[in-house]
Amino acid sequence: MTKFFVIAAFFGDGSFEVMKFLHAADLHLDTPFQGLDALPEMWQHRLTAAPFTALQRLVDLAITEQVDFVLLVGDLFDQQAQSVPAQAALMAALDQLAAEQIPVILSFGNHDFQPDVTTWHFPANVHVFDAQVTTVELTTKQQQRVAITGFSYDQRWVTTPKVQDFPLKRTGVDYQIGMLHGQVGTSGDHYAPFAVSDLLAKHYDYWALGHIHQRQTLNAMPPVMYPGNLQGRYRDELGAKGALLVTSQGDQLVPEFKPLAPLVWTNWTPELSGQLDRPTLLTQLSAQLQARPVTVPELVVITLPATLTLTPTAELALTQGALLAQLQQQAPATSWPVTLQLAATDTTSDLFGMDTAIWQQAGETTVTTEKIAALADHLLDEPFLNQTLLEATTPEQWQQQVLRLLQDHYHLTLQGGDSDAN
């Protein structure tokens, strides 16, 4: 299974050898955006084009940085059966990298799992992992030997800890990198569960993770990194999105985030206080929205400060959506207000006589994969429903959705809002 890439040496002596690569994951190219109708046409186009634009920017960055290789760690597609435009976009990207002689090492994840990767016909610069953990070795332009170990999902769930199949760092290579689409957990969890200590025990120089859409560092050195997804798709996938440009500094590999998403989702709380009537609230909101320093077009989720008091008319306009509609009419071209609501206050949650922790606990015990499966019964035999019910949405996301509904409805204050979307 092992392939070898050998790239011609440009530099002989190697005294200033720098290795560079890009680590990206979770492209979800064919995401079926929901709720698009609520957006104006221009923003619909921006959002649906965004995953493809982000991919093109990744390719452009690989070329301008002249990286030694590109890692794509699973969930290139949102679904097992990909759309033709999504496949075409990926192939075009791989062809561009092939023309620049930039190797690409890719794996499929839980969303785009492939029972048989040999059905894919990628350009010659691409190595795709199959379901077995294997190692591919390549030699960079500056003659550094790099071993890359990984696997693809051949089914929706990989419940065995695949880390146990990863070999120890090879002797004789300059760097070894592990590619792993999964999340921290224990045997039986659905997404190639691992402990960070298991990874570190392999003595690799870098772990290129995928699956969690929030960019994060599980270990600083050697880096164990989630780059996050390439493009935020929903209001849960906030902030700048992109890939990690990893550069060798001595014998260490150092990641640097490179924003690539052409559109971001933003949470924003304007600076407002005191008691405001409807016209004043609108004027101030609009002025502050116009004044936002925006470098990337943004879809804005607006939360008004809890300390704000509103006149009855203003409150009605807020809860009935009239205020948002007016604000949207005055929105600048680069910031679209998606939602507008008042922050929850402690006093309203006190009305229920119970605190957030109890709601959270209730959510966690009520919404579990098992209970969803029991409720859905034979519906889960249908692959698309199975995907939607158990897969595209994790129990954590279900919990968050239930809790958000409660929050929106009752103005509850809830903690721990960051869901680990997969």
The CB-of-394 to Mn ion minimum distance in angstroms stands at 10
The CB-of-416 to Mn ion minimum distance in angstroms stands at 20
Give the range of 71-79, 143-151, 154-162, 292-300 binding Mn ion by CB under 5 A: 71-79
Nearer to Mn ion by Cβ, of 31 and 140: the residue is: 31
**What is the Cα 336 distance to its own chain's centre?**
21
The CB-of-229 to Mn ion minimum distance in angstroms stands at 6
Binding mask 337-376 for Mn ion (x = CB under 5 A): ----------------------------------------
Q: First CA to last CA across the chain, in angstroms?
A: 29
Alpha-carbon gap, residue 324 to 317, rounded angstroms: 8
Alpha-carbon gap, residue 348 to 284, rounded angstroms: 26
The CB-of-111 to Mn ion minimum distance in angstroms stands at 5
The CB-of-181 to Mn ion minimum distance in angstroms stands at 8
Nearer to Mn ion by Cβ, of 97 and 230: the residue is: 230
**What is the Cα 319 distance to its own chain's centre?**
31
Alpha-carbon gap, residue 185 to 157, rounded angstroms: 13
Alpha-carbon gap, residue 91 to 87, rounded angstroms: 6
Give the range of 21-29, 42-50, 145-153, 398-406 binding Mn ion by CB under 5 A: 21-29
The CB-of-422 to Mn ion minimum distance in angstroms stands at 5
Nearer to Mn ion by Cβ, of 26 and 236: the residue is: 26
Nearer to Mn ion by Cβ, of 48 and 393: the residue is: 393
The CB-of-224 to Mn ion minimum distance in angstroms stands at 17
**Options 23, 26, 133, 193; binder of Mn ion; rule CB under 5 A:** 26
Tell me the residue number closest to Mn ion, measured at CB. 75
Q: Which of residues 164-203 bind Mn ion (CB under 5 A)?
A: none
Nearer to Mn ion by Cβ, of 26 and 68: the residue is: 26
Give the range of 72-80, 219-227, 276-284, 410-418 binding Mn ion by CB under 5 A: 72-80
Nearer to Mn ion by Cβ, of 75 and 298: the residue is: 75
Nearer to Mn ion by Cβ, of 158 and 276: the residue is: 158
Give the range of 20-28, 36-44, 366-374, 409-417 binding Mn ion by CB under 5 A: 20-28
Binding mask 31-70 for Mn ion (x = CB under 5 A): ----------------------------------------
Residues binding Mn ion: what is the number (CB under 5 A)?
3
Binding of residue 236 to Mn ion (CB under 5 A):
no
The CB-of-179 to Mn ion minimum distance in angstroms stands at 14
The CB-of-393 to Mn ion minimum distance in angstroms stands at 12
Strand ranges across the sheet with 69-73: 126-128, 104-107, 69-73, 20-24, 242-249, 252-259
**Options 75, 130, 298, 391; binder of Mn ion; rule CB under 5 A:** 75
Q: Which residue has the tokens 């929706």?
A: 156
- Interface residue list for Mn ion (CB under 5 A): 26, 75, 422
